[in-house]
Amino acid sequence: MEEQEMQLKEHVRRSLPELAQHKADMQNWEEQSQGAVYTVEYACSAIRSMTYSREYFKSIEGLLRQTISTKEQMGSAPGRSTLAPQAPCPSSSS
């Protein structure tokens, strides 16, 4: 029985450093994986936000079109001069 116990101890002594390194590698990969998952979730959240903002941009576009149309209508209204009003000339006194 002592021979088997000695072999077992020797096996553990030889295997332990490699197992410890594997454990450290696995912990490192787990941390990297968690970081990648966070990055993907953040990107998905940003894309969802962009999708929701589409309605706001459509609203802004509509308001801009209305403003341009109103400005064009005001510029072409009868009796409106397209020239800027001129200030009266000062009278010259001698």
52-63 per-position pLDDT tens digit? 898 899 999 999
Please count the residues of the chain: 94
Question: Comparing 89 with 34, which gets the higher pLDDT?
Answer: 34
How far is residue 29 from each of residues 23, 24, 42, 45, 75, measured CA to CA in Å?
10, 9, 20, 24, 67
Q: Please state the domain count of the chain.
A: 1
Q: Is residue 52 part of a domain?
A: yes
pTM, entire model? 0.46
What pLDDT was estimated at residue 94?
Answer: 43
Q: Is residue 67 part of a domain?
A: yes
Print the domain residue range for 19. Answer: 12-71
How far is residue 65 from each of residues 60, 72, 76, measured CA to CA in Å?
9, 11, 17
Q: Is residue 89 part of a domain?
A: no
What pLDDT was estimated at residue 79?
Answer: 60
pLDDT value at 90 more than 60: no
